[in-house]
Structure 1
């Protein structure tokens, strides 16, 4: 026992085990609002976009649409970090872009096995895709493959692909963020005089009411731990705390839920509140009956707790799990991160 305690102290001193008690104590239980589960949608940037695709495909029975900004096709990495970094982000002659037809075959096989929802649901999906012409992190040709992947399932008039703006690797807004539209740097939000949040909401939900001048709803800091299969957010590279934006009307009338997933190095612990307050979603959510959930990852490398469970994760950039660093089932309904996000949506859809 002494040796175990001594080892634990060493691990903690080395920064391998992180317990954010001060943050966790401030978090509340995510409230129930009786939202319409069938009106759920998802979007994301970069690794958040990859997770958005995974969540959409895995739960296509309830997710009606997705907004993908600089993402990759479903199961692009096929459990390989090398494939993720090369073929799925910066492909070249030696590392070609993954074949969308091959990834469709994987998807269909998973659906037949019951690991993901029936792919027939994707026939009704509404998808909005964006690739910046100056994006050197996820090459535009990868987003071309993402478009081609979705085209196997959804009709062409259900897919919108914007690749005509000189943006870098970032979330694009009308008037917030770096004034250099081509920038790729924290907080990874750029002012390109284009409202990506509006565009993706319109594609998914149809015509929108005008936005509020300033979001007037409330921000909720909620406890993410309860949504993990083992009750440990840390073990799955997730923060103890997530955020949600709740328009006031959603306490009075049924709303829908949109899940917005940040990119690598874009979590609140790294950049503060720019993504969950200023990425453009909330002012549209305010006037269109949309709750926006902002789940959060953490930077994590090393052993989990208890350390003797041999729970090792290498995720120093706080990316979502789209290549299998946390689980071989990361892209299915059984993936711990996907399970957590679905449980958050279920809570918001529960009647208060």
Structure 2
């Protein structure tokens, strides 16, 4: 009796979950949070449908024994997007991460302030290059006069100087 009841419950749950529309989950972050966002987005591409990266480095950003500081501030001549893409393929083929095909068509927003000297725009642009290769719908903003931090319309330091107090740009 218990076995039959469990089977009925399982069938019911399966039919309900099959008819429930997908709930879109996105992830965003700034700096190391941007790194986290892209790691999560690529790693859990079946469950996460998009991401926003603000001043964050690309997937597998701390690889090859290079320090995070070098990865964030360049030079980008040591970082090849083809290697990052190969790492995504390798990780997916070994079931370390979800299949990269889940990323195709999903939205990705990438921002880096034009005057950022903490997370250089050239490093952040690698995100755009990688997501483009993964066929995501990529929107970028690398032209805004801003330093490292969040943008506001009425609070924080001017874009000319780095606001070390709270990393907010007016």
Do these two structures clear the TM 0.5 threshold for a shared fold by scoring above it?
Answer: yes
Q: Please tell me whether residue 70 in structure 1 is matched to residue 55 in structure 2.
A: yes
Offset from partner CA, 1:197-246 (integer Å, 9 cap, x none): xxxxxxxxxxxxxxxxxxxxxxxxxxxxxxxxxxxxxxxxxxxxxxxxxx
Q: Deviation at 1:96?
A: 2.6
Cα separation, 2, equivalents of 1:71 and 1:97? 17
- TM-score, structure 1 as length reference: 0.40
Offset from partner CA, 1:265-314 (integer Å, 9 cap, x none): xxxxxxxxxxxxxxxxxxxxxxxxxxxxxxxxxxxxxxxxxxxxxxxxxx
Aligned twin of 1:98: 79
CA contact (8 A) 2:73 2:118 kept: yes
Name which of 159, 178, 183 aligns with 2:156.
Answer: 178
**Which secondary structure does the structure 2 equivalent of 1:168 belong to?**
coil
Q: Please tell me whether residue 83 in structure 1 is matched to residue 67 in structure 2.
A: yes
Offset from partner CA, 1:299-344 (integer Å, 9 cap, x none): xxxxxxxxxxxxxxxxxxxxxxxxxxxxxxxxxxxxxxxxxxxxxx
Cα separation, 1, equivalents of 2:64 and 2:142? 28
CA contact (8 A) 2:156 2:163 kept: no
Cα separation, 1, equivalents of 2:146 and 2:168? 10
Map 1:38-49 → 2, pairs under 5 A: 38-49=23-34
Cα separation, 2, equivalents of 1:174 and 1:66? 23
- TM-score, structure 2 as length reference: 0.80
Aligned twin of 2:140: 161
The structure whose residues are more often helix, as a share, is 2
CA contact (8 A) 2:157 2:163 kept: no
4+ residue stretches of structure 1 with deviation over 4 A? Answer: none
Q: Please tell me whether residue 143 in structure 1 is matched to residue 121 in structure 2.
A: no
**Which secondary structure does the structure 1 equivalent of 2:124 belong to?**
helix
Aligned twin of 1:112: 93
RMSD: 1.8
| Matched positions, count | 149
Unaligned runs of 5+ in 1: 1-35, 192-352
Unaligned runs of 5+ in 2: 1-20
Higher relative contact order (CA 8 A, sep 6+): 1
Cα separation, 2, equivalents of 1:79 and 1:188? 29
Offset from partner CA, 1:170-217 (integer Å, 9 cap, x none): 012233x314124241311222xxxxxxxxxxxxxxxxxxxxxxxxxx
Q: 1:79 to 1:51 in 2, by over 3 A?
A: farther
